[in-house]
Amino acid sequence: MIETKRPAFHPGVIIKDAIDSLDMTQSEFANRVGLSVKNVSTLVNGESNITFGVAIKLATFFGNSVEGWLNLQTNYDLYLYREKQNKEYAEDWEISKKISKEFIKNVLGIELSNKFSTKNIDDLRRSFSVTSLSNLKRPDLYVFYHTSINKEIDEEMMMLRNAWISIAEQKARNIRCSTFNKDKIIENQKKLRYLTTLAPEVFLPRLKDFCNSCGVKLVILPYLSGSNVNGVTKWIDSEDCALVAVNDCGKDADKFWFALFHEFGHVIKNHKRHMTISLNKNDVLDGEEKEANEFVENLLIDKEKYNEFVKRNDFSISSINSFAKQQGVAPFIVIGRLQKDKYIPWSKYKEQKVKYNISLYI
């Protein structure tokens, strides 16, 4: 904690003692010094501070220095500040324990100590761009946002969600990109599908370069446990571009691509009115979320071709591989779509699903 050296009293105590020693009433003292009676009363009761103007009057009356009166007030104020600061450090230390140490180490490069550390807290505050970690609990930290489901969430989840978004924003500030061009994204559907067939170490640099050329600041972060956030889209008006942030929740390759292109959907569909937060678990979709989902489905797999495929009712692995090749996507994309649409159970073709460890490459 920060050392506190408390003055023995509020400066008003000295004024009260002086008034008593002069055998004056507060009203008489106020008239002689040129202050209001109320001002003197609040000063001697420690309810108001010695301002520069008051210090001049007191120094003139008592024949001492303005600096002396101001220093008395400053020292007392510093004590109150340090007491408040110590309390906030203690509160923030408890909050920091709720954030994954692995996430903090891997993403922020901060090694959290097991013992109280003001340095750890200061580092976290700077990383999350807040003066106190308790500010991350505020539901209005991002005033203009829209989530895919409207319901109350607990304080801890709100804190973790805001922490994840804050890091995504910080990462985006260091990315330079072109102005937003949605036509370029739509025109390069085949190129985007092809990326699903590549390994993360190969497709990630290409994906980021493509996004930059389209005016999208792509940020990929590990999932922050307890945040329940899959992705975020935020328009950056000053640069005429968009931030798209996603994570690797679940490690499933098909879910990663779905989450990524879901956020692209918000951008393409011009959902510019707010920040959009896509949740990990979501039972009820509103209009914008449905639009974003439809965009993903049509981007990854041609709608008409998909309908023809499911009508044949042949979901053997050879049939799926053949269809995936025709569409220019990885087979796990088709499997994930069939599972989502309930044509095959989630347990089917587990051995064909691909896992990504995106964190190794970001």
Closest by CA to 162, choosing from 275, 37, 83, 268, is 275
∠ CA 205-207-208, rounded to 5° = 65
pLDDT above 80: residue 203? yes
pLDDT of residue 252: 86
pLDDT above 70: residue 19? yes
pLDDT of residue 264: 86
Q: Stretch 305-312: mean pLDDT, rounded?
A: 94
Closest by CA to 184, choosing from 217, 210, 202, 219, is 210
Local confidence band at 267 (pLDDT 50, 70, 90 cut-offs): confident
**pLDDT tens profile 241-265:** 999 999 877 678 888 898 888 888 8
pLDDT of residue 361: 65
pLDDT of residue 231: 87
Pairing of the two strands 216-221 and 275-279:
unpaired
pLDDT of residue 284: 45
Q: How far apart are CA 256 and CA 212, in angstroms?
A: 19
Six-digit token string for 150: 């409207």
Region for 174 from its dihedrals, namely left if φ exceeds 0, alpha if ψ lies in -120 to 50, beta otherwise: alpha
pLDDT of residue 104: 93
CB 196 within 8 A of CB 258: no
Comparing 72-76, 116-120, 148-152, which segment has the lowest mean pLDDT? Answer: 148-152
When comparing pLDDT for 222 and 287, which is higher? 222
Percent of the chain at pLDDT above 90? 60
Comparing 43-52, 84-93, 278-287, 291-300, which segment has the lowest mean pLDDT? Answer: 278-287
pLDDT above 80: residue 287? no
CB 252 within 8 A of CB 355: yes
CB 88 within 8 A of CB 120: no
pLDDT of residue 282: 52
Local confidence band at 11 (pLDDT 50, 70, 90 cut-offs): very high
Closest by CA to 167, choosing from 227, 115, 120, 208, is 227
Q: Stretch 205-215: mean pLDDT, rounded?
A: 94
Q: Stretch 75-80: mean pLDDT, rounded?
A: 91
Q: Stretch 229-250: mean pLDDT, rounded?
A: 87
Residue ranges of the alpha helices (H) in 22-65?
Answer: 26-33, 37-44, 52-62
Q: Stretch 291-303: mean pLDDT, rounded?
A: 79
∠ CA 52-55-59, rounded to 5° = 145
Local confidence band at 228 (pLDDT 50, 70, 90 cut-offs): confident
Closest by CA to 307, choosing from 284, 329, 338, is 338
pLDDT above 60: residue 5? no
Please, what are the domains in the chain?
12-94 (1.10.260.40), 95-137 (no CATH), 145-301 (no CATH)
